[in-house]
Chains A and B, each alone.
Chain A
Amino acid sequence: MANIISASHLTLGYGNNDADIIKNANFKIKKGDFVFITGPSGSGKSTLLRSFYGQLRPKSGNLLVGAQDMGKISKKKLQELRTHFGIIFQDYKLINEWSVAKNVVLPLVIAGYNADVQETQAKRLLKHVKLSEHADRLPLELSGGEQQRIGVARALAKNPTLILADEPTGNLDEYSSNVIWDLMENANEQLDATVVVVTHRIPNIFSIPYRHLIIENKGIYEVH
Protein backbone atom coordinates (compact mmCIF):
# COMPACT_ATOMS: atom_id res chain seq x y z
CA MET A 1 0.00 0.00 0.00
CA ALA A 2 1.10 3.55 -0.72
CA ASN A 3 2.46 5.84 1.96
CA ILE A 4 0.15 8.58 3.11
CA ILE A 5 2.78 10.21 5.33
CA SER A 6 6.49 9.90 4.79
CA ALA A 7 9.20 11.72 6.74
CA SER A 8 12.90 11.66 6.10
CA HIS A 9 15.40 13.54 8.23
CA LEU A 10 12.45 15.57 9.48
CA THR A 11 13.35 18.33 11.92
CA LEU A 12 10.67 20.46 13.55
CA GLY A 13 10.87 23.54 15.75
CA TYR A 14 9.10 26.84 16.32
CA GLY A 15 11.58 29.70 16.06
CA ASN A 16 14.71 29.42 13.98
CA ASN A 17 16.73 30.16 17.10
CA ASP A 18 14.72 27.91 19.42
CA ALA A 19 15.76 24.36 20.15
CA ASP A 20 14.56 21.66 17.76
CA ILE A 21 11.63 19.65 19.03
CA ILE A 22 11.82 16.73 16.61
CA LYS A 23 15.22 16.05 15.13
CA ASN A 24 16.18 14.00 12.09
CA ALA A 25 13.16 11.68 12.28
CA ASN A 26 12.44 8.97 9.67
CA PHE A 27 9.15 7.11 9.48
CA LYS A 28 6.36 6.18 7.11
CA ILE A 29 2.63 5.78 7.62
CA LYS A 30 0.84 3.67 5.03
CA LYS A 31 -2.66 4.08 3.74
CA GLY A 32 -5.00 2.18 6.05
CA ASP A 33 -2.64 2.17 9.03
CA PHE A 34 -3.89 2.80 12.53
CA VAL A 35 -1.04 4.49 14.38
CA PHE A 36 -0.70 5.47 18.02
CA ILE A 37 1.92 8.08 18.84
CA THR A 38 2.97 8.29 22.47
CA GLY A 39 5.67 10.14 24.36
CA PRO A 40 6.19 12.17 27.52
CA SER A 41 4.39 15.45 27.97
CA GLY A 42 6.15 18.21 26.06
CA SER A 43 7.99 15.75 23.83
CA GLY A 44 6.45 17.18 20.66
CA LYS A 45 3.42 15.01 19.91
CA SER A 46 1.13 17.95 19.13
CA THR A 47 3.96 19.59 17.25
CA LEU A 48 4.31 16.55 15.03
CA LEU A 49 0.57 16.50 14.28
CA ARG A 50 0.68 20.20 13.42
CA SER A 51 3.28 19.47 10.80
CA PHE A 52 0.95 16.85 9.30
CA TYR A 53 -1.87 19.34 8.82
CA GLY A 54 0.42 22.09 7.72
CA GLN A 55 0.37 24.53 10.62
CA LEU A 56 4.08 24.04 11.10
CA ARG A 57 6.53 23.67 8.24
CA PRO A 58 9.58 21.40 8.53
CA LYS A 59 12.70 23.24 9.61
CA SER A 60 14.69 20.81 7.54
CA GLY A 61 14.33 17.37 6.01
CA ASN A 62 11.36 16.15 4.06
CA LEU A 63 7.72 15.59 4.93
CA LEU A 64 5.25 14.26 2.39
CA VAL A 65 1.54 14.14 3.24
CA GLY A 66 -0.63 12.76 0.49
CA ALA A 67 1.50 13.66 -2.47
CA GLN A 68 2.29 17.09 -1.06
CA ASP A 69 5.69 18.29 0.06
CA MET A 70 4.74 20.05 3.29
CA GLY A 71 7.83 22.25 3.15
CA LYS A 72 6.72 23.85 -0.09
CA ILE A 73 2.94 23.49 -0.17
CA SER A 74 1.01 26.57 -1.27
CA LYS A 75 -1.84 28.07 0.73
CA LYS A 76 -4.34 26.97 -1.86
CA LYS A 77 -3.05 23.37 -2.00
CA LEU A 78 -2.99 23.19 1.79
CA GLN A 79 -6.59 24.31 1.93
CA GLU A 80 -7.51 21.57 -0.51
CA LEU A 81 -5.46 18.95 1.34
CA ARG A 82 -7.13 19.79 4.64
CA THR A 83 -10.56 19.05 3.24
CA HIS A 84 -9.48 15.38 3.10
CA PHE A 85 -8.53 15.34 6.77
CA GLY A 86 -10.59 14.80 9.87
CA ILE A 87 -8.89 16.51 12.78
CA ILE A 88 -9.83 15.90 16.41
CA PHE A 89 -8.56 18.00 19.31
CA GLN A 90 -8.20 17.32 22.99
CA ASP A 91 -10.26 20.44 23.76
CA TYR A 92 -12.76 19.64 20.98
CA LYS A 93 -12.53 23.06 19.22
CA LEU A 94 -16.22 23.19 18.44
CA ILE A 95 -17.86 26.39 17.28
CA ASN A 96 -19.80 27.32 20.38
CA GLU A 97 -22.18 29.74 18.66
CA TRP A 98 -23.37 27.00 16.32
CA SER A 99 -25.85 24.22 17.03
CA VAL A 100 -24.56 20.69 17.45
CA ALA A 101 -26.04 19.75 14.06
CA LYS A 102 -24.28 22.59 12.28
CA ASN A 103 -20.96 21.82 13.99
CA VAL A 104 -21.08 18.27 12.81
CA VAL A 105 -21.44 19.22 9.15
CA LEU A 106 -18.77 21.95 9.10
CA PRO A 107 -16.74 20.04 6.48
CA LEU A 108 -19.85 19.87 4.29
CA VAL A 109 -20.50 23.59 4.79
CA ILE A 110 -16.93 24.24 3.66
CA ALA A 111 -17.34 21.94 0.67
CA GLY A 112 -20.41 23.93 -0.31
CA TYR A 113 -23.10 21.27 0.05
CA ASN A 114 -26.63 22.63 0.16
CA ALA A 115 -28.81 22.82 3.26
CA ASP A 116 -30.74 19.63 2.43
CA VAL A 117 -27.59 17.53 2.23
CA GLN A 118 -26.29 19.16 5.38
CA GLU A 119 -29.47 18.30 7.23
CA THR A 120 -29.64 14.64 6.22
CA GLN A 121 -25.93 14.17 6.88
CA ALA A 122 -26.20 15.83 10.29
CA LYS A 123 -28.95 13.36 11.18
CA ARG A 124 -26.88 10.40 10.00
CA LEU A 125 -23.72 11.53 11.81
CA LEU A 126 -25.46 12.37 15.07
CA LYS A 127 -27.17 9.00 15.04
CA HIS A 128 -23.77 7.40 14.45
CA VAL A 129 -22.31 9.06 17.58
CA LYS A 130 -25.58 8.58 19.49
CA LEU A 131 -26.39 12.25 19.95
CA SER A 132 -29.52 12.55 17.80
CA GLU A 133 -31.59 14.11 20.57
CA HIS A 134 -29.09 16.96 21.01
CA ALA A 135 -29.07 18.21 17.40
CA ASP A 136 -30.45 21.66 18.19
CA ARG A 137 -28.53 22.33 21.40
CA LEU A 138 -25.36 24.36 21.72
CA PRO A 139 -22.08 22.47 22.36
CA LEU A 140 -21.50 24.09 25.75
CA GLU A 141 -24.77 22.62 27.02
CA LEU A 142 -23.29 19.11 26.66
CA SER A 143 -20.81 17.10 28.70
CA GLY A 144 -17.15 16.77 27.70
CA GLY A 145 -17.65 13.26 26.40
CA GLU A 146 -20.62 14.36 24.33
CA GLN A 147 -18.71 17.33 22.95
CA GLN A 148 -15.88 15.10 21.87
CA ARG A 149 -18.32 12.79 20.11
CA ILE A 150 -19.43 15.86 18.15
CA GLY A 151 -15.77 16.46 17.38
CA VAL A 152 -15.41 12.91 16.09
CA ALA A 153 -18.64 13.12 14.09
CA ARG A 154 -17.35 16.33 12.50
CA ALA A 155 -14.05 14.66 11.65
CA LEU A 156 -15.93 11.81 9.97
CA ALA A 157 -18.43 14.00 8.12
CA LYS A 158 -16.81 13.89 4.72
CA ASN A 159 -15.27 10.39 4.85
CA PRO A 160 -11.74 11.63 5.47
CA THR A 161 -8.72 9.86 4.02
CA LEU A 162 -6.68 10.73 7.08
CA ILE A 163 -7.86 11.21 10.65
CA LEU A 164 -5.51 13.09 12.94
CA ALA A 165 -6.43 13.06 16.63
CA ASP A 166 -4.54 14.84 19.40
CA GLU A 167 -5.28 13.16 22.76
CA PRO A 168 -8.96 12.76 21.86
CA THR A 169 -9.81 11.07 25.17
CA GLY A 170 -7.42 13.07 27.32
CA ASN A 171 -10.14 14.78 29.33
CA LEU A 172 -12.80 12.09 29.21
CA ASP A 173 -14.18 9.46 31.57
CA GLU A 174 -13.79 5.79 30.72
CA TYR A 175 -17.21 5.30 29.19
CA SER A 176 -16.84 8.25 26.80
CA SER A 177 -13.29 7.18 25.98
CA ASN A 178 -14.49 3.75 24.97
CA VAL A 179 -17.17 5.21 22.74
CA ILE A 180 -14.53 7.38 21.03
CA TRP A 181 -12.15 4.44 20.51
CA ASP A 182 -14.98 2.40 19.00
CA LEU A 183 -15.72 5.20 16.56
CA MET A 184 -12.04 5.40 15.57
CA GLU A 185 -11.71 1.67 15.06
CA ASN A 186 -14.84 1.74 13.00
CA ALA A 187 -13.56 4.61 10.84
CA ASN A 188 -10.37 2.66 10.13
CA GLU A 189 -12.05 -0.67 9.44
CA GLN A 190 -15.28 0.30 7.74
CA LEU A 191 -14.35 3.59 6.09
CA ASP A 192 -10.73 2.78 5.21
CA ALA A 193 -9.50 5.94 6.88
CA THR A 194 -5.87 6.11 7.92
CA VAL A 195 -5.86 7.08 11.59
CA VAL A 196 -3.06 8.75 13.54
CA VAL A 197 -3.81 9.20 17.24
CA VAL A 198 -1.62 10.97 19.74
CA THR A 199 -2.31 9.66 23.22
CA HIS A 200 -0.57 9.34 26.54
CA ARG A 201 -1.97 5.83 27.02
CA ILE A 202 -2.94 3.18 24.52
CA PRO A 203 -6.32 1.70 25.48
CA ASN A 204 -6.21 -1.77 27.04
CA ILE A 205 -8.95 -3.23 24.96
CA PHE A 206 -8.30 -2.53 21.32
CA SER A 207 -9.67 -4.97 18.82
CA ILE A 208 -7.90 -4.05 15.59
CA PRO A 209 -4.23 -4.24 14.63
CA TYR A 210 -2.28 -1.03 15.16
CA ARG A 211 1.21 0.43 15.04
CA HIS A 212 2.89 2.32 17.83
CA LEU A 213 5.35 5.17 17.32
CA ILE A 214 7.08 6.72 20.29
CA ILE A 215 8.76 10.11 20.55
CA GLU A 216 11.90 9.98 22.66
CA ASN A 217 14.76 12.46 22.89
CA LYS A 218 13.50 14.27 19.77
CA GLY A 219 13.56 11.08 17.74
CA ILE A 220 10.63 8.98 16.50
CA TYR A 221 10.84 5.19 16.87
CA GLU A 222 8.59 2.25 16.10
CA VAL A 223 7.63 0.05 19.07
CA HIS A 224 7.22 -3.60 18.11
Chain B
Amino acid sequence: MKYIKEHIMFIFPMLAILLGIESSMVFDRMSRDYEKDLKADYSMLVLANTPMKLSGFQQLDRRISSMSRIEKRTIVQEMAQGMSGISAEDIMQALPHFYTIHFGRYLDVQEIDKIKHALVASEGIEKVETFGKSHNSSYHLFIFIKVVLWTFVGFMTFTSLFLVIKQMEIWQFSHRERMQVMEIFGASTMLRSGILFKRAMIDALIATVLTSGLFAFLRFVWIKQSHIDLLMQKEALLFAYEDIAILGGIAMSIVITSVIIVVIGSKERKL
Protein backbone atom coordinates (compact mmCIF):
# COMPACT_ATOMS: atom_id res chain seq x y z
CA MET B 1 0.00 0.00 0.00
CA LYS B 2 2.76 2.40 1.02
CA TYR B 3 4.63 1.35 -2.10
CA ILE B 4 1.68 2.15 -4.35
CA LYS B 5 1.11 5.47 -2.60
CA GLU B 6 4.72 6.48 -3.07
CA HIS B 7 4.52 5.73 -6.77
CA ILE B 8 1.25 7.58 -7.22
CA MET B 9 2.79 10.61 -5.56
CA PHE B 10 5.39 10.58 -8.31
CA ILE B 11 3.25 9.51 -11.25
CA PHE B 12 0.48 12.09 -10.70
CA PRO B 13 2.57 15.24 -11.04
CA MET B 14 4.41 13.57 -13.89
CA LEU B 15 1.05 12.90 -15.57
CA ALA B 16 0.01 16.51 -15.04
CA ILE B 17 3.11 17.67 -16.87
CA LEU B 18 2.79 15.22 -19.73
CA LEU B 19 -0.97 15.74 -20.20
CA GLY B 20 -0.39 19.49 -20.29
CA ILE B 21 2.36 19.18 -22.84
CA GLU B 22 0.44 16.75 -25.01
CA SER B 23 -2.63 19.04 -24.95
CA SER B 24 -0.49 21.96 -26.02
CA MET B 25 1.00 19.93 -28.82
CA VAL B 26 -2.46 18.94 -30.01
CA PHE B 27 -3.61 22.53 -29.85
CA ASP B 28 -0.50 23.66 -31.71
CA ARG B 29 -1.20 21.17 -34.46
CA MET B 30 -4.78 22.37 -34.69
CA SER B 31 -3.84 26.02 -34.95
CA ARG B 32 -1.19 25.27 -37.56
CA ASP B 33 -3.75 23.32 -39.51
CA TYR B 34 -6.18 26.19 -39.18
CA GLU B 35 -3.53 28.64 -40.42
CA LYS B 36 -2.99 26.43 -43.42
CA ASP B 37 -6.67 26.56 -44.25
CA LEU B 38 -6.70 30.32 -43.85
CA LYS B 39 -3.69 30.70 -46.06
CA ALA B 40 -5.24 28.58 -48.77
CA ASP B 41 -8.35 30.75 -48.70
CA TYR B 42 -6.55 34.02 -48.73
CA SER B 43 -5.79 36.22 -51.74
CA MET B 44 -5.51 39.86 -52.82
CA LEU B 45 -6.91 41.47 -55.92
CA VAL B 46 -4.52 43.81 -57.74
CA LEU B 47 -5.37 46.29 -60.47
CA ALA B 48 -2.36 47.29 -62.55
CA ASN B 49 -1.93 49.67 -65.45
CA THR B 50 0.85 47.62 -66.94
CA PRO B 51 1.10 43.84 -67.34
CA MET B 52 2.82 42.18 -64.36
CA LYS B 53 4.81 39.01 -63.86
CA LEU B 54 5.08 36.90 -60.70
CA SER B 55 8.73 37.94 -60.35
CA GLY B 56 7.62 41.56 -60.49
CA PHE B 57 5.22 40.97 -57.59
CA GLN B 58 7.84 39.05 -55.66
CA GLN B 59 10.23 41.94 -55.99
CA LEU B 60 7.67 44.04 -54.16
CA ASP B 61 7.12 41.43 -51.46
CA ARG B 62 8.79 38.06 -51.11
CA ARG B 63 5.85 36.52 -49.25
CA ILE B 64 3.87 36.45 -52.50
CA SER B 65 4.00 32.87 -53.70
CA SER B 66 1.78 32.77 -56.75
CA MET B 67 -0.44 34.89 -58.96
CA SER B 68 -3.06 34.43 -61.63
CA ARG B 69 -4.28 36.81 -64.23
CA ILE B 70 -8.03 37.36 -64.37
CA GLU B 71 -9.30 36.95 -67.91
CA LYS B 72 -11.42 39.99 -68.76
CA ARG B 73 -12.10 39.36 -72.45
CA THR B 74 -15.57 37.80 -72.00
CA ILE B 75 -16.75 40.61 -69.82
CA VAL B 76 -15.31 43.19 -72.17
CA GLN B 77 -16.99 41.62 -75.20
CA GLU B 78 -20.35 41.71 -73.49
CA MET B 79 -19.77 45.32 -72.59
CA ALA B 80 -18.82 46.17 -76.17
CA GLN B 81 -22.03 44.70 -77.54
CA GLY B 82 -24.07 47.14 -75.51
CA MET B 83 -22.10 50.18 -76.68
CA SER B 84 -22.02 51.52 -80.21
CA GLY B 85 -18.91 53.02 -81.68
CA ILE B 86 -16.58 51.50 -79.12
CA SER B 87 -14.78 48.30 -79.94
CA ALA B 88 -13.86 45.64 -77.44
CA GLU B 89 -10.21 46.44 -78.12
CA ASP B 90 -10.72 50.02 -77.00
CA ILE B 91 -12.24 48.87 -73.74
CA MET B 92 -9.47 46.39 -73.30
CA GLN B 93 -6.97 49.19 -73.69
CA ALA B 94 -8.76 51.40 -71.20
CA LEU B 95 -9.24 48.80 -68.49
CA PRO B 96 -6.38 47.93 -66.13
CA HIS B 97 -5.00 44.41 -65.75
CA PHE B 98 -6.49 42.26 -62.99
CA TYR B 99 -4.48 39.79 -60.89
CA THR B 100 -5.10 37.73 -57.82
CA ILE B 101 -2.05 37.02 -55.68
CA HIS B 102 -1.52 34.31 -53.05
CA PHE B 103 0.88 34.01 -50.16
CA GLY B 104 3.23 31.34 -48.84
CA ARG B 105 1.95 31.55 -45.30
CA TYR B 106 -0.75 33.00 -43.15
CA LEU B 107 -0.54 36.77 -42.69
CA ASP B 108 -1.97 38.91 -39.95
CA VAL B 109 -3.69 42.28 -40.40
CA GLN B 110 -0.53 44.34 -40.00
CA GLU B 111 1.35 42.30 -42.53
CA ILE B 112 -1.48 42.55 -45.00
CA ASP B 113 -1.57 46.32 -44.58
CA LYS B 114 2.15 46.57 -45.15
CA ILE B 115 2.03 44.50 -48.30
CA LYS B 116 -0.92 46.47 -49.54
CA HIS B 117 0.94 49.73 -49.05
CA ALA B 118 4.06 48.40 -50.71
CA LEU B 119 2.03 47.29 -53.72
CA VAL B 120 0.06 50.53 -54.06
CA ALA B 121 3.20 52.60 -53.72
CA SER B 122 4.79 50.85 -56.67
CA GLU B 123 4.44 52.36 -60.11
CA GLY B 124 1.89 50.73 -62.36
CA ILE B 125 -0.28 49.35 -59.59
CA GLU B 126 -3.42 51.30 -59.23
CA LYS B 127 -5.45 49.59 -56.60
CA VAL B 128 -5.27 46.66 -54.21
CA GLU B 129 -8.29 44.98 -52.68
CA THR B 130 -7.97 42.69 -49.67
CA PHE B 131 -10.55 40.19 -48.57
CA GLY B 132 -10.87 37.66 -45.88
CA LYS B 133 -10.60 39.97 -42.92
CA SER B 134 -13.44 38.11 -41.28
CA HIS B 135 -11.01 35.27 -40.56
CA ASN B 136 -8.93 37.48 -38.39
CA SER B 137 -10.92 37.69 -35.20
CA SER B 138 -11.15 33.92 -34.87
CA TYR B 139 -7.46 33.66 -35.67
CA HIS B 140 -6.67 36.05 -32.84
CA LEU B 141 -8.87 34.03 -30.54
CA PHE B 142 -6.79 30.99 -31.47
CA ILE B 143 -3.57 32.82 -30.65
CA PHE B 144 -5.05 34.00 -27.38
CA ILE B 145 -6.10 30.50 -26.34
CA LYS B 146 -2.66 29.25 -27.30
CA VAL B 147 -0.93 31.79 -25.08
CA VAL B 148 -3.29 31.05 -22.20
CA LEU B 149 -2.81 27.32 -22.62
CA TRP B 150 0.98 27.54 -22.73
CA THR B 151 1.03 29.80 -19.69
CA PHE B 152 -1.17 27.38 -17.82
CA VAL B 153 0.87 24.38 -18.89
CA GLY B 154 4.09 26.18 -18.01
CA PHE B 155 2.79 26.99 -14.56
CA MET B 156 1.53 23.47 -14.01
CA THR B 157 4.81 21.99 -15.18
CA PHE B 158 6.70 24.19 -12.78
CA THR B 159 4.47 23.28 -9.83
CA SER B 160 4.48 19.59 -10.68
CA LEU B 161 8.25 19.64 -10.99
CA PHE B 162 8.36 20.72 -7.36
CA LEU B 163 6.16 17.80 -6.36
CA VAL B 164 8.32 15.39 -8.35
CA ILE B 165 11.46 16.67 -6.62
CA LYS B 166 9.75 16.51 -3.21
CA GLN B 167 8.81 12.89 -3.77
CA MET B 168 12.33 12.16 -4.93
CA GLU B 169 13.62 13.66 -1.69
CA ILE B 170 11.30 11.41 0.29
CA TRP B 171 12.70 8.39 -1.58
CA GLN B 172 16.19 9.58 -0.99
CA PHE B 173 15.43 9.98 2.67
CA SER B 174 14.19 6.42 2.95
CA HIS B 175 17.33 5.19 1.19
CA ARG B 176 19.62 7.60 2.97
CA GLU B 177 21.30 4.97 5.11
CA ARG B 178 22.06 2.77 2.16
CA MET B 179 23.36 5.65 0.07
CA GLN B 180 25.58 6.84 2.90
CA VAL B 181 27.06 3.42 3.45
CA MET B 182 27.79 3.20 -0.25
CA GLU B 183 29.39 6.63 -0.16
CA ILE B 184 31.67 5.60 2.70
CA PHE B 185 32.87 2.72 0.58
CA GLY B 186 33.65 5.02 -2.32
CA ALA B 187 30.59 4.62 -4.55
CA SER B 188 30.13 7.29 -7.21
CA THR B 189 27.13 9.59 -7.17
CA MET B 190 25.80 7.74 -10.18
CA LEU B 191 25.94 4.36 -8.48
CA ARG B 192 24.48 5.69 -5.24
CA SER B 193 21.52 7.31 -6.95
CA GLY B 194 20.91 4.26 -9.13
CA ILE B 195 18.00 3.16 -6.99
CA LEU B 196 16.29 6.56 -7.23
CA PHE B 197 16.92 6.55 -10.92
CA LYS B 198 15.44 3.14 -11.49
CA ARG B 199 12.27 3.92 -9.57
CA ALA B 200 11.78 7.28 -11.22
CA MET B 201 12.40 5.82 -14.67
CA ILE B 202 9.72 3.20 -14.15
CA ASP B 203 7.22 5.84 -13.03
CA ALA B 204 8.17 8.14 -15.90
CA LEU B 205 7.54 5.28 -18.28
CA ILE B 206 4.14 4.58 -16.72
CA ALA B 207 3.17 8.26 -17.01
CA THR B 208 4.27 8.33 -20.65
CA VAL B 209 2.29 5.22 -21.49
CA LEU B 210 -0.83 6.53 -19.72
CA THR B 211 -0.69 9.91 -21.48
CA SER B 212 -0.02 8.48 -24.92
CA GLY B 213 -2.67 5.84 -24.29
CA LEU B 214 -5.28 8.43 -23.40
CA PHE B 215 -4.67 10.52 -26.51
CA ALA B 216 -4.44 7.46 -28.72
CA PHE B 217 -7.79 6.39 -27.30
CA LEU B 218 -9.24 9.83 -28.10
CA ARG B 219 -8.01 9.59 -31.66
CA PHE B 220 -8.83 6.00 -32.48
CA VAL B 221 -11.90 5.24 -30.38
CA TRP B 222 -13.61 8.17 -28.78
CA ILE B 223 -13.58 10.48 -31.79
CA LYS B 224 -15.62 8.09 -33.91
CA GLN B 225 -18.62 8.41 -31.63
CA SER B 226 -18.08 12.00 -30.59
CA HIS B 227 -20.24 13.53 -33.34
CA ILE B 228 -17.98 16.57 -33.31
CA ASP B 229 -17.65 17.06 -37.06
CA LEU B 230 -14.88 19.56 -36.78
CA LEU B 231 -12.72 17.01 -34.99
CA MET B 232 -13.80 13.96 -36.90
CA GLN B 233 -12.23 15.34 -40.08
CA LYS B 234 -9.00 16.13 -38.25
CA GLU B 235 -8.59 13.10 -36.01
CA ALA B 236 -4.92 12.74 -36.92
CA LEU B 237 -4.21 15.98 -35.11
CA LEU B 238 -5.22 14.42 -31.79
CA PHE B 239 -2.37 11.98 -31.56
CA ALA B 240 0.79 11.16 -33.49
CA TYR B 241 3.18 8.31 -32.83
CA GLU B 242 6.11 10.67 -32.46
CA ASP B 243 4.27 12.15 -29.47
CA ILE B 244 5.24 9.02 -27.53
CA ALA B 245 8.92 9.75 -28.19
CA ILE B 246 8.54 13.43 -27.30
CA LEU B 247 6.66 12.67 -24.07
CA GLY B 248 9.11 9.92 -23.18
CA GLY B 249 12.02 12.26 -23.80
CA ILE B 250 10.48 14.97 -21.64
CA ALA B 251 9.69 12.48 -18.86
CA MET B 252 13.28 11.19 -18.93
CA SER B 253 14.73 14.69 -18.76
CA ILE B 254 12.49 15.47 -15.79
CA VAL B 255 13.74 12.34 -14.03
CA ILE B 256 17.38 13.12 -14.79
CA THR B 257 17.04 16.74 -13.71
CA SER B 258 15.29 15.91 -10.46
CA VAL B 259 17.76 13.14 -9.56
CA ILE B 260 20.62 15.54 -10.18
CA ILE B 261 18.98 18.29 -8.13
CA VAL B 262 18.21 15.96 -5.22
CA VAL B 263 21.47 14.01 -5.17
CA ILE B 264 23.91 16.82 -5.91
CA GLY B 265 22.01 19.04 -3.50
CA SER B 266 22.54 16.70 -0.55
CA LYS B 267 25.75 16.81 1.45
CA GLU B 268 27.51 13.87 3.04
CA ARG B 269 26.14 13.29 6.51
CA LYS B 270 28.48 12.03 9.20
CA LEU B 271 27.88 8.43 10.15
Contact = CB atoms under 8 A, between A and B. Distances in A.
A53 B271 CA distance: 11
B181 A106 contact: yes
Contacts of A95: 177-178, 181-182
B270 A110 contact: no
Contacts of B178: 95, 97-98
Interface string B184-198: 111110010000000
A68 interface: no
B268 interface: yes
A186 interface: no
Contacts of A79: 186-188
Interface in B175-231: 177-178, 181-182, 184-188, 191
A89 B271 contact: yes
A134 interface: no
Interface string A55-91: 1100000000000000000000001111101010100
A50 interface: yes
Interface centre among A50, A55, A109 (most CB of B within 10 A): A55
A83 B186 contact: yes
A43 B268 CA distance: 23
A53 B270 CA distance: 11
A106 B270 contact: no
B181 A110 contact: no
A28 interface: no
A60 B189 CA distance: 28
Contacts of A87: 184-185
Contacts of A83: 185-186
Contact of B181 (A50, A55, A93): A93
A81 B183 CA distance: 12
A93 B182 contact: no
B194 to A, nearest CB: 10
Interface string B234-271: 00000000000000000000000000000000001011
A93 B270 contact: no
B271 A110 contact: no
Interface in A77-123: 79-83, 85, 87, 89, 93-98, 106-107, 109-110
Interface of A: 50, 53, 55-56, 79-83, 85, 87, 89, 93-98, 106-107, 109-110, 154
